[in-house]
Every structure is written in C-alpha cells, then in structure tokens.
Amino acid sequence: MASVTNLTNLTPATTSAGSRSSSVLPRSSVNLRSFNAKLSSASHLSLRYNPQYRPSLFVRCSASGGNGSTAKRTTLHDLYEKEGQSPWYDNLCRPVTDLIPFIARGVRGVTSNPAIFQKAISTSDAYNDQFRTLVESGTAIKKAYWELVVKDIQDACKLFEPIYDQTEAEDGYVSVEVSPLLADDTKTTIKAAKLLHKSVNRRNVYIKIPATAPCIPSIRDVIASGISVNVTLIFSIARYEAVIDAYLDGLEASGLDDLSRVTSVASFFVSRVDTLMDKMLEKIGTPEALDLRGKAAVAQAALAYQLYQKKFSGPRWEALVKKGAKKQRLLWASTSVKNPAYSDTLYVAPLIGPDTVSTMPDQALEAFIDHGTVKRTIDANVSEAEGVYSAIEKLGIDWNKVGEQLEEEGVDSFKKSFESLLATLQDKANTLKLASH
C-alpha cells in the first residue's frame, strides 16, 4: 500500500480543525490588520507586464521592488456580483502576500496542484530558509515538502478568510491536493485527506481529491467526516455524475444536523479536452470533423451544467437543504488556451453562469480582465452544445474513453511533478549538507 507521504508528523495549529481559528501563523504570515494599508501601498510588489495586453496590475511571485498600485474595480467584480460566478486564481507561491492585489481586483479563492508547487519551490529562493531549517533538524524530504506546502496554504487561507466569513462559507477557499501517488488507493487517500486537513487546520481550506474511480468512495467518506473537498481532474459527464453522487452520499452519511460548513466544488477540466479532441478530429479529417475543432470542451461543459441543475433539485436535495447543505459548485479548471488560433478567453467567456467558479492562471485572468465580456453564457446555447456532443459521438469518438485517457494523463502529469520536486529538494538537501561540512 502507498504511504501517506509523511503527513502524519506535520504539526497542526493548536485549535481544532473545525473551529474558527485565531491561531498563530508563522511569523512571516500576513497581518490582516495591515491588509488595507498594503492594498493602497503595495510598493514592494513589482508589476507584471504582458505586451499582448494593456499594462497589467498583477504580480510575479518572486516580486521585489516595484512602482506600487492602487485597487480598482475590474470585470472580476462584475463576474461575481452580476452573474454569480466566482473568479479564482490558479497559482500559489511565495511571498503569499503577492495575492493581496489579486484579492483587491476581485479574485475570491485560490487553487494549487503538484505542478504549481513544483514550479514555485524549484524556481524560487523564497523557500530556502525554511527548507534549510527543516534539513538541519533532520526532517525527511517528503515531510519537508509538506511543511513547505502547508505553510503556504495556511498563509493564503488567512488572506481569504474575510471572504469566507462574508459569504458564510460559500467562497474564499484555498485548495491543496493530497499526494498524486495515491490516486489509485481509496483507503490511503481518505487517511491522507484527513491528515492534510488536520495539518492545515483552516476553516477555508479545500482538500483536493482526484475523481479517479478508486477515489470516488474516498470523496464520499471524506465529505461524510465533515471535511470540505475540491474534487479535481474531472473530464467526462459520466464521471462528473459519480462525483455529485459521492457528495450527496457523503452529506447524507455525515450525521450532521448542520451541513452549512461542509462544502465542495467539482473541478471540470476544459481546455485539455479540446487539445486531445482536436487531434482526434484532425485524424478523421472530414469537413464535418474539422468543423468541430475547438468546440468539444465548451459543449461538454455546458451539458455538465445542465446535469448540475438537475441533480441539485428535487426531494433528495431539498431534504439536505433543510439541514443547511450547499450545492457542490461546478468549477471550470484548465481554462488557459493551448491553441494560439483560439480566442484567449475561449474557456472563460462561454462558461459564465450562477453558482459556478472559474479558476484562471495568469494568462486567462489577464485576458478576461482586459477584454472579457460579463454576461450569462453557460446555458445560452444548450441545443448547440447537444448538437456538438452528438456529432462527435456519430464520428465514432467515445466521450468516456476520451475522459479516461485525459484522467490518466492528468494523474501521471501530477505524479511526475511531485516526484520531480522531491528529487529537486533532495538535491538541495545534499548541497546544504555538503556545505555544512
């Protein structure tokens, strides 16, 4: 059986996992009392400039120096206030205070994954001091990795806690994923999720669990234990329905009289679907097939939203609502455009609708702020989406098999990122040990 990747010995904060925490973060954590001051005088944050768009007010994680900025209203505010969609940022690294300008401009949550941490930790010096202390104290590499990650998640949770409170646990979440090495291990994923939740010990943390077949029961059991979950790597409608059922089963099995603080999002991946589907359509090569390029991902997502509306209605759901249950919101993930021939807002603009989340990396976020249009689009062309979905099936393409391939590739990619980072940390540790002799 796979290990829980040394989460057992992480030191949680002193308060209980489910309680409101005023616990002490590490000294480098953000002081929320100076939050507003930092928003108006972020002179230590350097601006990021992308010549494709107008000058951006977003920051690099490794920022130093800079010319300052002031908060201003953006399309992200309109996205939430007018259409009920929460814009989240798909990135996290140190210094976590770099998130402050993002929050000021409408970002309402953060997602992370092994690839994001692989890039952050391996390319930045910001983790060196903590890592050196861990190595010098004899901490094992895997445990050191989780210590680095947990600190970032705790600090980010503190920044988004006001949004969490203002929305009564609807928004303001920071997501952290269990080890991708556990994607085929039901029981150990459950154990790892509980340990990670206990270690982070923040009310507004989402524990990410992949939507692999072995992890569907894990999702149910973790929800049943009162832990909020971000279900990730969903690539097909069939698997999405299994994820919804796991959430509902978990709520019903929890035995809780108040379900208002047990929430979830279902991360439905978008652009990767087109990346694979376009290759398959080009291989078929007929005019009908070629005309469907760039349409599959948005069509499937639109139909997933129809399923969402159906499943979160009716007697079963209403019985849970009476106990305070919240809908498991659809979260659009993988929103960056991979094909330069497509619109840079292709995986954001057509998927706007109430009770959804769109998590965007820098490219998609900057593009939407710069020239995105805020209007409800997710169910504006359902018949067209059904037509695209059906036309692809008629070409002999099996949507479920496409989903299975993408899931396998996604899990494998995260495993490689995780293992690569551990190797990088081991090399750093060896260098530190040699330098100390």
Give the active site residue among 151, 194, 208, 295: 208
Interacting residues of 107 by C-beta distance below 8 A, sequence separation 6+: 76, 87, 88, 89, 99, 365
The pair of structure tokens assigned to 93 is 């690294």
Q: Residue 252 is which amino acid?
A: E
**Side chain identity, residue 219:** I
Tokens of 127: 């983790």
Handedness of CA 150, 193, 212, 220 (dihedral sign): negative
What is the C-alpha separation between 126 and 114, in angstroms, rounded? 18
DSSP track, 104-143: HTT---EE--HHHHHHHHHH-STTHHHHHHHHHTT--HHH
Can you read off the two tokens belonging to residue 40?
A: 């108006």
Identify any residues that bridge with 87 across adjacent strands, giving them in sequence order: 358
Judge whether 208 counts as a catalytic residue. Answer: yes
Distance between CA atoms of 92 and 271, rounded to whole angstroms? 21
Q: Find how far residue 362's CA is from the centre of its chain.
A: 14
Show the tokens assigned to 182. 């556990």
The tokens 């059986």 sit on which residue?
1
- The alpha carbon dihedral of 413, 418, 422, 425 has a sign of positive
* Active site positions, annotated: 208
